[in-house]
Structure 1
Amino acid sequence: MKDNQAKYPQLRFKGFTDSWEQRKLSNLAERVTRKNKNNESGRPLTISAQDGLIDQNDFFDKQIASRDVSGYFLVKNGEFAYNKSYSNGYPWGAIKRLDKYDMGVLSTLYIIFRPTNVSSQFLVSYYDTTRWYKEVAKNAAEGARNHGLLNIAPTDFFSTVLITPNSIEEQQKIGSFFKQLDHLITLHQRKLAKLKELKQGYLQKLFPENGSKFPQLRFAGFADDWEERKLQEVLRERNNQQPQSMEYPLVSFTVENGVTPKTDRYEREQLVVGDKSSKKYKVTVLNDIVYNPANLKFGAISRNKYGNAVFSPIYITFLVNNDVTTPEFIEMFVTRNDFIKRALKYQQGTVYERQSVSPTDLLAMNVYLPGKSEQEKIGSFFQQLDETIALHQRKLDLLKEQKKGFLQKMFV
């Protein structure tokens, strides 16, 4: 009979049946406190929950001010570091292994250690779970979240308890499994990034720039000038309002997903506030161009691909003049960085967070349109590209969800 059911993971590889054991981190790893006295490395590192231990210059996409790093800890490839700062989704910080470089330096605020009696790859996966949160929380001093930095002493950190397999072979199998899964996720992330980069390149080349009437790249058979027009000839604001209903459900509008169903959180908030069945919202329909005046600077403009809906009156929705353009084409035109950058010149408001671009100013802007058949070609091209990007995004999201599930079931 199993003496403690909690010491057995829900899912494990064949051939392994022994109970997992509780061990302190101090019995599995040793602390590293070597200083960078001889300036062996001038690479300042930071710990990202998403990207691991990474050069600050790469992570922040800028040069870090030169500083004396001789008093910093020297971290070598294969060693782990704990970032005690918490972030969204990582309430107790992140513990990552240095894999990208031979060595680097970290502030002495970080806790660094190397495995001695446990599979290194197993530890990588273990610290991708949330299993260790409870132990760190238990050992953290009161007021641990002061200024977003966890107040846990190294001695307390190394007293945290991990539950691990006795068999190094089982540890290695688990570590290898997640390493392969991480590799697959990385490959999908790269594919997705390349597709998005490809789209940006086409957006730049298939539309005229700097007042030109000719794009750099065109489909065969098209050579005419693009015609300059006011956006108000192409779009017209839709201002009708009505209560939410089965035919017109209440939705939200986000930078990431455009017109999208409200989450359970919003539904719960509605229940708390009370019955909203009689409250009127702004109507939007399929293929409208929608934007958030206050968040245009973050790219909050897209085509309604959801369908009939109602949402907050703070959003602006335009119906498309199909005699002049196509929804797919004008969506690509107004979502381009070049167009948004021009639109932001019309921002009004004294506080940056509340600055917005009014629909009147937006509609007064100039746009350049080719003939209808060329618009359809361009719109169809980008629609297919967007569908490919969405497909890869779904695959990536599925892989990440699968990893979450395995992390939950393969550790105790």
Structure 2
Amino acid sequence: MSKMTPQIRFQGFTDDWEERKLSSISERVTRKNKNNESTLPLTISAQDGLVDQNDFFNKQVASRDVTGYFLVKNGEFAYNKSYSNGYPWGAIKRLDKYDMGVLSTLYIVFRPTEINSQFLVSYYDTTRWYREVSKNAAEGARNHGLLNIAPTDFFNTLLVVPNTVDEQEKIGSFFKQLDDTIALHQRKLDLLKEQKKGFLQKMFPKNGAKVPELRFEGFTDDWEERKLGELSNIVGGGTPSTSNPEYWDGDIDWYAPAEIGEQSYVSKSKKTITELGLKKSSARILPVGTVLFTSRAGIGNTAILAKEATTNQGFQSIVPDQNKLDSYFIFSRTNELKRYGEVTGAGSTFVEVSGKQMSKMSIMVPELSEQQKIGSFFKQLDDTIALHQRKLNLLTEQKKGFLQKMFVS
């Protein structure tokens, strides 16, 4: 039998970890909400833990009558024992945000007794327990024909844990600090996105208005209503025959709609075409600064070309007239472009907007120098948002790595 130790440990701890049944380190909680001690209906969110149903479901699906529900107190854990998409892999979360709340009796509730509570919070983020609870649910179903995990099977799940409270506490504290850092970055990111939303509302004129609420100093002229086709060329795409290898794997980037939407700028496509493939299709070379615009299902995703490229026919891309339209200014109006595309697009199989329709779109624009100021402002904001998103992604990946290495897998 292999040593029951994780790959990474805090200094000074060398003993093997041990297997413990959940029933030996916790107590099941079955107290009912008889005297309406709480009317706060809870649900489990994988990201946010045990949360108020009213918030989570936006006041739409919250339970009304909570008599007879389980009464859950701060520090207790809950698990939804029903299968989710065929797997009993719902999250196990501790009640941290409120003193108490109520949960449907579909949940299993327990409190830790012989284990550090914070350690357990992190343990239930690992993949090991997923395998264990899945195995026990499957065995329970074979033995009893159950469609979900029975409480007895759930409390028979085996956990591999340090045999000293000190090591449990160190691991729990480490992951709490990491979770707090991740939560802080998430809040910063959410705040930046909210700020951007506010600027988008205030820095472009509202319907019927000729000037925005918020402007850079020195600009006072009215904005003008123009057609998108007067300020840019709208260019479709094409696909060379996929049965001819001479058309593919060349030096020309060729984008499909699925590649668009994650980044402001794109400079490398998944597939490429040859000069011959370009000639033998309706694909067109688009210059740097073109705003790619997806014109079919998933309509209205955009990105700016950082390197000239072509697209397939799922695009109506905007090639700005450099003397009339700033690329980032029009890119910042993605929401308006998307709404217009969705409203005007038509098709029996799927919604699609044509280049002709896109050319007719009315849009309020200021002089080019003001457009450039606005474009630069939103580029800086988008760059900051992208930076915070990368930091958050990195922290999340680091946590995943530590979960694999700091627990017995």
Cα offsets for 1:329-367 (capped at 9, x unmatched): 11112x13x55445433243568xx33444432321200
Deviation at 1:102, TM superposition (A): 1.0
The one-letter code matched in structure 2 to 1:394 is: R
Deviation at 1:215, TM superposition (A): 0.5
Deviation at 1:277, TM superposition (A): 12
Deviation at 1:44, TM superposition (A): 1.3
2:381 to 378, 385, 390: 385
Tell me what 1:290 maps to. 292
Deviation at 1:232, TM superposition (A): 1.3
Tell me what 1:93 maps to. 90
The total of aligned residue pairs comes to 388
Q: Is the 8 A contact 1:296 1:340 kept in 2?
A: no
Tell me what 2:316 maps to. 316
Cα offsets for 1:343-402 (capped at 9, x unmatched): 433243568xx3344443232120011011111111111111111111111111111111
**Structural mapping, 1:13-162, within 5 Å:** 13-64=10-61, 67-84=64-81, 92-141=89-138, 151-162=148-159
1:110 & 1:66 partners in 2: Cα distance? 14
Pairing 1:247–2:251 present: yes
Pairing 1:367–2:363 present: yes
Q: Does the C-alpha gap of structure 1 residues 60 and 306 become closer, same or farther in structure 2, counting only changes over 3 Å? A: farther
Give the structure-1-normalised TM-score: 0.85
Q: Is the 8 A contact 1:296 1:357 kept in 2?
A: no
Give the structure-2-normalised TM-score: 0.86
SS at match of 2:302: strand
1:86 & 1:348 partners in 2: Cα distance? 40
Structure 1: 5+ residue stretches without partners: 268-275
2:282 & 2:394 partners in 1: Cα distance? 34
SS at match of 1:105: strand
Q: Is the 8 A contact 1:320 1:326 kept in 2?
A: yes
2:68 & 2:192 partners in 1: Cα distance? 43
1:150 & 1:96 partners in 2: Cα distance? 22
Q: Does the C-alpha gap of structure 1 residues 362 and 176 become closer, same or farther in structure 2, counting only changes over 3 Å? A: same
**Structural mapping, 1:124-203, within 5 Å:** 124-141=121-138, 151-203=148-200
**Structural mapping, 1:245-284, within 5 Å:** 245-251=249-255, 252-257=258-263, 282=283, 284=286
The one-letter code matched in structure 1 to 2:302 is: S
Q: Does the C-alpha gap of structure 1 residues 221 and 57 become closer, same or farther in structure 2, counting only changes over 3 Å? A: same
Q: Is the 8 A contact 1:326 1:376 kept in 2?
A: yes
SS at match of 1:155: helix
2:280 & 2:152 partners in 1: Cα distance? 58
**Structural mapping, 1:196-215, within 5 Å:** 196-215=193-212
Q: Is the 8 A contact 2:88 2:148 kept in 1?
A: no
SS at match of 1:53: strand
Q: Does the C-alpha gap of structure 1 residues 332 and 177 become closer, same or farther in structure 2, counting only changes over 3 Å? A: same
Deviation at 1:143, TM superposition (A): 11
2:361 & 2:188 partners in 1: Cα distance? 35
SS at match of 1:58: helix
The one-letter code matched in structure 1 to 2:191 is: K
1:260 & 1:128 partners in 2: Cα distance? 36
SS at match of 2:92: strand
Deviation at 1:62, TM superposition (A): 2.6
Q: Does the C-alpha gap of structure 1 residues 196 and 96 become closer, same or farther in structure 2, counting only changes over 3 Å? A: same
Q: Is the 8 A contact 1:57 1:63 kept in 2?
A: yes
Cα offsets for 1:275-319 (capped at 9, x unmatched): x9999684555322222234456xx42232453444442233232
1:84 & 1:234 partners in 2: Cα distance? 58
Q: Does the C-alpha gap of structure 1 residues 357 and 313 become closer, same or farther in structure 2, counting only changes over 3 Å? A: closer
1:155 & 1:66 partners in 2: Cα distance? 27
Q: Does the C-alpha gap of structure 1 residues 39 and 304 become closer, same or farther in structure 2, counting only changes over 3 Å? A: same
